[in-house]
Chain A
């Protein structure tokens, strides 16, 4: 029964949505093309047939309206999952996410919490150019009142959603679009996971690579190359971008004293900048080398493959940065 079964990130996410719809009548999914089309990344394919149009709701192209409706429905006792096709489109709903979802609990003096989950695809790597490729999760992680998740593994794709739905406050889940085809195995009884801790994906002694979402795989590849060169790298997956799990980050720094931060967001004002600042605040006297960052080049993501590759954090860049910390 518990033999791990082959699956993909997409299927794990779909299983999570199906599970949530089965567990709780209050849960429903809405977004652009989530129903008949099956989701622009095919995550919700087949769910309309299974759960009907009331609970798998196709919306008009009105990000503000359907995200705001999600907030209202959450206030009204439902547990909506709102899907936004891609993070760039979420900017059309920014007023609802920040001025309403993130602020309601506070400005009502604790009277109205917003148990809403918003899922969206993020990240580059598919030659979709400057309006479908950005990584703005670090930007959202700036906002108090919401929680930000970045599942990077099949277990997290399968397990984070339910925990997020049980959270009384709004949770945004950023799914890196390059991960949907990620293959692996998952225990059939895989279930909810915590959404409060970072995870050490590879233990190491010489230096730490901190990554999240789409760059965790790259960080692990880099660690493999470094191991071949005799450098024992630890890889930390942030998992939850807000609130950040300082304890796991700092524990790793205290162990290895050297760190490379990998972030698909732009370097200036990035999540990597925040993590770096926290390391300097909390573990300054444990640093034995300057903090290194590998981020996306400061350009809107270009269309041609070679330029897109050049813009994004890549394994050789991570390896080189890691080598600098131990040089």
Chain B
């Protein structure tokens, strides 16, 4: 049933799917690719570190859920997607939006609630959208995006579109009825969905073991007759490889696949979260397997990147993000007279 299942990928243990690639030279295509993965992960992290600061300063409001620690998942999954594919994400979706190509300016402006944001300022952090990138949004009801992703896949299948729909959700969603209804429907109807479960071990403050009778989430997806396997979500190369295999399988067979991406968020659930439900030592343990450090170290060892180059990427990103912040600050607010726009479509109905 499952291909190459690797049970119990745990922190501290290198993933079977991430063999260190060969000693490619710094100028090789592989090295350039890894550099790009590194840059994308660093973009997400620097961007979010900045948003945390802005949140504390009161410039960003609402809920802000940070992805820091989980960057390898979004970056790796995105590598398997083309412009024809759809993404349905959650409220912790800054990373997906950025790697999908929504500009840092548009995402930052959205967090500021400005009219230039990627959702016109109407959505905020939890509801990033971009129709031109088939980014069907961040959904803030846990499990709420799954049925919709199945529907997108159904439409694609009925229309004969080539794309797959990547559906992102967390371990918390697996306890929701909508998860099980959608697993069943997608498998029953052979819908081309790539289910990506980001298992970061906590549903807000409730640990995996305290909310699931069966904590092997891939196993539960498998019970719907779906190919499913766990992946080391701290290793971007492992994620990329697994995502490519799964996406190709979905494309080829038109059947849904399921990846359980085992990862960890360093930050609290949201900014206003005392984070009392876990041991600080646990966080430190996971930080030892930080996806950015891990990849950078590997590249350094292979001679694919120098400290200076690393610092230069970092500086360049910092500059870009600073510009996004400045642009967001300067951007206009939507006039209050437009308040009731976007409730119904304009024009005759």
1/0 per position for B310-323, CB-CB distance to A under 8 A? 00000000000000
Whether B144 is near chain A, meaning CB under 8 Å from some CB there, is yes
A window 53-85: CB within 8 A of B: 54, 59-60, 62, 64-78, 80
| Inter-chain contact B343/A95, CB cutoff 8 Å | no
Contacts of B139 in A (CB 8 A): 99-100
CA distance A67 to B158 in the complex (A): 17
Complexed CA–CA distance, A147 and B349 (Å)? 11
- Interface residues as binary, A25-50 with B (CB distance below 8 Å gives 1, 0 otherwise): 00010000000000000000000000
Q: Are A78 and B159 in contact (CB under 8 A)?
A: yes
**A residues 102-135 in Cβ contact with B at 8 Å:** 104-113
Q: Does B119 contact A (CB under 8 A)?
A: yes
Contact A73:B144 (CB < 8 A) given known A65-B178, A108-B137, A168-B349: no
B122→A69 contact, CB < 8 A: no
A155 at the interface (CB under 8 A from B): no
Q: Which of B117, B131, B347 has the most CB of A within 10 A?
A: B131
| A76 contacts B151, C-beta separation under 8 Å | yes
| Cα distance A169–B86 in the bound complex, in angstroms | 21
Name B147's contact: one of A72, A144, A195 (CB within 8 Å). Answer: A72
CA distance A54 to B190 in the complex (A): 12
Q: Are A73 and B343 in contact (CB under 8 A)?
A: no
Q: Is B127 an interface residue (CB 8 A)?
A: yes
Give CA–CA (A66, B178) in the complex, Å.
Answer: 10
* Complex: A144 Cα to B149 Cα, angstroms: 23
Which residues of chain A have C-beta atoms less than 8 A from B118's C-beta? 109
In the bound complex, do residue A65 and residue B123 qualify as a contact, i.e. CB atoms below 8 Å apart? Answer: no
B144 to chain A: closest CB distance in Å? 6
Interface string of B132-163 (1 = CB under 8 A from A): 00001101010010111111111110110100
Q: Is the CB of A68 within 8 A of B342?
A: no
Stretch at the interface among B179-187, B255-263, B267-275: B179-187
B130 neighbours in A (Cβ, 8 Å):
111
Measured between alpha carbons, how far is A304 from B293 in the docked complex, in Å?
71
Residue from A67, A95, A109 having most chain B Cβ neighbours under 10 A: A109
A113 touches B345 (CB 8 A): yes
Q: How far is the CA of A104 from the CA of B148 in the complex (A)?
A: 11
**Does B16 sit within 8 A of A, measured CB to CB?**
no
Min Cβ gap B105→A in Å is: 15
User: Quick one: which of A67, A68, A76, A77 contacts B146, CB cutoff 8 A?
Assistant: A68
A126 to chain B minimum Cβ distance, whole angstroms, is 28
Q: B343–A64 contact, CB under 8 A?
A: no
B150 touches A95 (CB 8 A): no
User: A70 to B118, alpha carbons, bound, how many Å?
Assistant: 25
Whether A65 pairs with B127 at a CB distance below 8 angstroms is: no
Number of interface residues of A (CB under 8 A): 44
Closest residue on chain B to residue A101 by CB atoms: B148
A276 sits at the interface (CB 8 A): no
| Nearest-Cβ distance from residue A122 to partner chain B, whole angstroms | 23
B33: chain A residues at CB < 8 Å are none
Partner of A60, one of B148, B184, B343, B344: B184
Q: B144 touches which one: A100, A109, A144 (CB < 8 A)?
A: A100
Q: How many residues of B contact A (CB 8 A)?
A: 47
A68 near B148: Cβ-Cβ < 8 Å: yes
- Given contacts A64-B178, A75-B155, A76-B159, is CB(A109)–CB(B148) below 8 Å? no
Q: Are A111 and B131 in contact (CB under 8 A)?
A: yes
Q: Is B343 in contact with A106, judged by CB distance below 8 angstroms?
A: yes
Is B341 an interface residue, CB under 8 A from the partner?
yes
Contact (A72, B149) CB under 8 Å given A60-B188, A78-B158, A104-B137:
yes
- In the complex where A65-B178, A73-B151, A75-B136 touch, is A105 in contact with B345 (Cβ < 8 A)? yes
At the interface, yes or no: A196 with Cβ under 8 Å from chain B? yes
Q: Are A144 and B343 in contact (CB under 8 A)?
A: yes
> A68-B150, A69-B150, A69-B151 in contact; A108/B127 too (CB < 8 A)?
yes
Nearest A residue (CB) for B153: A72
A167 interface residue per 8 A CB criterion: yes
Q: Contact: A167 with B349, CB < 8 Å?
A: yes
Complex Cα distance A308/B114, Å?
54
Q: B343 to chain A: which residues have CB within 8 Å? A: 105-106, 144-145
Contact yes or no, B122 A107, CB < 8 A:
yes
Residues of chain A within 8 A (CB-CB) of B181 are 60, 62, 64-65
CA distance A106 to B137 in the complex (A): 12
Q: What's the minimum C-beta distance from B338 to chain A, rounded to whole angstroms?
A: 10
Q: A76 contacts which chain B residues (CB < 8 A)?
A: 86, 151-156, 159, 161
Partner of A62, one of B117, B136, B154, B184: B184
The answer to whether B129 has its CB under 8 Å from any CB of chain A is yes
Asked if A96 CB lies within 8 Å of chain B CBs, one says yes
Contact of A109 among B122, B146, B161 (CB under 8 A): B122
Inter-subunit contact A67/B147 (CB<8 Å): yes
Cβ-neighbour of B148 out of A78, A96, A147 (below 8 A): A96
Q: Can you identify 30 A-B contacts, CB atoms within 8 angstroms?
A: A60-B184, A60-B188, A64-B147, A64-B181, A66-B147, A69-B148, A69-B154, A72-B88, A72-B150, A72-B165, A73-B152, A73-B158, A74-B155, A75-B136, A75-B148, A100-B144, A106-B122, A107-B123, A108-B120, A108-B122, A109-B120, A111-B119, A111-B129, A112-B137, A166-B349, A167-B345, A168-B347, A169-B344, A195-B349, A196-B349
Q: Which 4 A-B pairs have the closest CB atoms?
A: A72-B151, A68-B147, A109-B120, A76-B155
Write the residues of chain A forming the contact surface with B, with a CB cutoff of 8 angstroms: 28, 54, 59-60, 62, 64-78, 80, 95-96, 99-100, 104-113, 144-145, 147, 166-169, 195-196
Interface residues of B (CB under 8 A from A): 86, 88, 117-123, 127, 129-131, 136-137, 139, 141, 144, 146-156, 158-159, 161, 165, 177-178, 181-182, 184-185, 188, 341-345, 347, 349
